[in-house]
């Protein structure tokens, strides 16, 4: 949706699917750069804009997109109708700028589809119980699309983006990164949460919860490419039972530069201390990721956790003002120059030695591990940010991800 010319190309692509007999609902984002422009205007007016008014402002970007796309479809002979999220209605909670979808009324949409129309719905937004426009947070159009697809029980949700699928890692870091034909919801969820920017994490959660097959494919291909080719292009996010689990131990290497580490030193080792620390952080609406508590020495311990880089200063203020004195901590230190690197794969469930191979690879490159966290299908390490790209390249090679 970067320009009117691209919007015309989107219309051609949508018309191609519609001509093949499919009922189509389109959920576009704002035109390229528009949301940033609007938020920039808000910052020029106020350093701390009211969240409700921010949502009123930011939602206009998608409203322009849906109207322009409807016009483009009508110009090539297609019946099309556009709706804002509140007109459908996409009901959300009242958490302005990061609302969550509660329900979608699909009655009006189904009526239009049955009448042969292409329906275009604003992404990224909805309406709360009080009738206020809300937005879902950056990247929320993906979430809107999957939610609408789930509500309509669509055959598949196609996410067109500026990449042609999900890769074993970021091709800008590893030149021989390989596009995956399929990936499981679990793997995609881990990769999205660990820093992969292909899809917003909430859209993957929606897709997994509602078992909505979702395909990531390129918006930059010829809009008139044969449908049979486009329908199998990109990467299909599917269910584990649809994949051959034994084929690959590791699916991909994810990384996240947006990490900071905070350590609360010399805290009493007693029940409830973790809650006293992290409760205050949660009350400030700050997300916590990796957590480590050291072994107790003379009744004292150290407590370390990570928060997003943009929340680092806020978290340090909360801890110094509301936690340090209350729990009797000796000091609070932080490091804003760390990154997280993760190996992800459902094959880890049936293979041993993944952790040792990962740690050996990092050791051979002289990379020190500061923190470790694991799940059934991923191992994450926190390292100095200057070694992040080296770590990604070394792990990608060590697990043979460059070969099909």
Domain boundaries, the chain: 4-242, 252-398
Q: Is the model's pLDDT at 243 over the cut of 60?
A: no
| 241: confidence class by pLDDT, cuts 50, 70, 90 | low
Per residue in 335-352, pLDDT tens? Answer: 999 999 999 998 888 888
Higher pLDDT, 378 or 246: 378
Per residue in 142-172, pLDDT tens? Answer: 999 999 999 999 999 999 988 899 999 998 8
* Domain 4-242: CATH class, spelled out: alpha beta
**Order of strands across the sheet with 252-268?**
291-293, 300-307, 252-268, 331-344, 378-384, 371-375
Please state, rounded to an integer, the average pLDDT across all residues of the chain: 92
**pLDDT for the residue numbered 246:** 45
**pLDDT for the residue numbered 239:** 79
Lowest mean pLDDT segment, chosen from 75-79, 185-189, 242-246: 242-246
**pLDDT for the residue numbered 191:** 85
Burial pattern 340-378, b for ≥16 Cβ within 10 A else e, equals bbbbbbbbbeeeeebeebbeebbeeeebeebbebeeebb
Chain position carrying tokens 């009797």: 328
Q: What Å distances lie between residue 83 and 8, 90, 393, CA to CA?
A: 19, 11, 45
β-pair partners for 126: 134
Q: How large is the average pLDDT for residues 192-208?
A: 80
Burial pattern 61-83, b for ≥16 Cβ within 10 A else e, equals bbbebbebbbebbeeeebebbbb
Was domain 252-398 assigned CATH 3.40.50.300?
no
d(Cα 212, Cα 154) in Å, to the nearest integer?
Answer: 8
Per residue in 355-381, pLDDT tens? Answer: 999 999 999 999 999 999 998 899 999
pTM over 0.75: yes
Q: How large is the average pLDDT for residues 47-56?
A: 94
| 245: confidence class by pLDDT, cuts 50, 70, 90 | very low
| 201: confidence class by pLDDT, cuts 50, 70, 90 | confident
């Amino acid at each position: 949706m970067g320009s009117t010319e691209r919007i015309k190309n989107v219309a051609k692509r949508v018309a191609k699917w519609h001509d093949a007999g499919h009922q189509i609902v389109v959920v576009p984002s704002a035109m390229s750069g528009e949301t940033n422009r609007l938020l920039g205007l808000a910052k020029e007016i106020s350093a701390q804009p009211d969240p409700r008014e921010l949502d009123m402002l930011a939602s206009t970007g998608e409203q322009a997109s849906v109207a322009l796309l409807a016009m483009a479809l009508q110009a090539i002979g297609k019946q099309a109708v556009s709706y804002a999220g509140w007109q459908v209605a996409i009901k959300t909670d009242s958490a302005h700028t990061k609302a969550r979808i509660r329900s979608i009324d699909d009655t009006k949409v189904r009526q239009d589809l049955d009448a042969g129309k292409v329906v275009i719905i604003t992404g990224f937004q909805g309406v709360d119980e009080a009738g206020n426009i809300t937005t879902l947070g950056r990247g929320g159009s993906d979430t809107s699309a999957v939610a609408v697809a789930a509500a309509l029980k669509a055959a598949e949700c196609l996410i067109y983006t500026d990449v042609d699928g999900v890769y074993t890692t970021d091709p800008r870091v590893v030149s021989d990164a390989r596009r995956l034909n399929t990936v499981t919801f679990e793997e995609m969820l881990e990769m999205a949460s660990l820093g992969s920017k292909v899809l917003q994490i909430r859209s993957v959660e929606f897709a997994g919860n509602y078992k909505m097959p979702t395909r990531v494919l390129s918006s930059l291909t010829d809009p008139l490419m044969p449908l049979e080719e486009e329908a199998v292009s990109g990467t299909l996010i599917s269910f584990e039972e649809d994949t051959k689990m034994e084929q690959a131990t590791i699916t991909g290497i994810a990384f996240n530069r947006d990490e900071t580490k905070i350590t609360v030193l010399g805290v009493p080792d007693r029940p409830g201390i973790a809650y006293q620390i992290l409760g205050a952080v949660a009350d400030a609406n700050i997300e916590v990721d990796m957590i480590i508590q050291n072994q107790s020495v003379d009744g004292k311990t150290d407590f370390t956790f990570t928060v997003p880089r943009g929340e680092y200063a806020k978290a340090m203020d909360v801890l110094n003002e509301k936690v340090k004195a209350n729990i009797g901590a000796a000091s609070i230190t932080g490091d804003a120059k760390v990154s997280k690197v993760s190996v992800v794969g459902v094959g880890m469930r049936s293979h041993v030695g993944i952790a040792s191979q990962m740690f050996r690879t990092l050791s051979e490159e002289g990379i020190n591990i500061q923190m470790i966290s694991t799940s059934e299908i991923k191992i994450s390490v926190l390292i100095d940010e200057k070694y992040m790209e080296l770590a990604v390249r070394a792990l990608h090679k060590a697990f043979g991800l460059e070969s099909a």
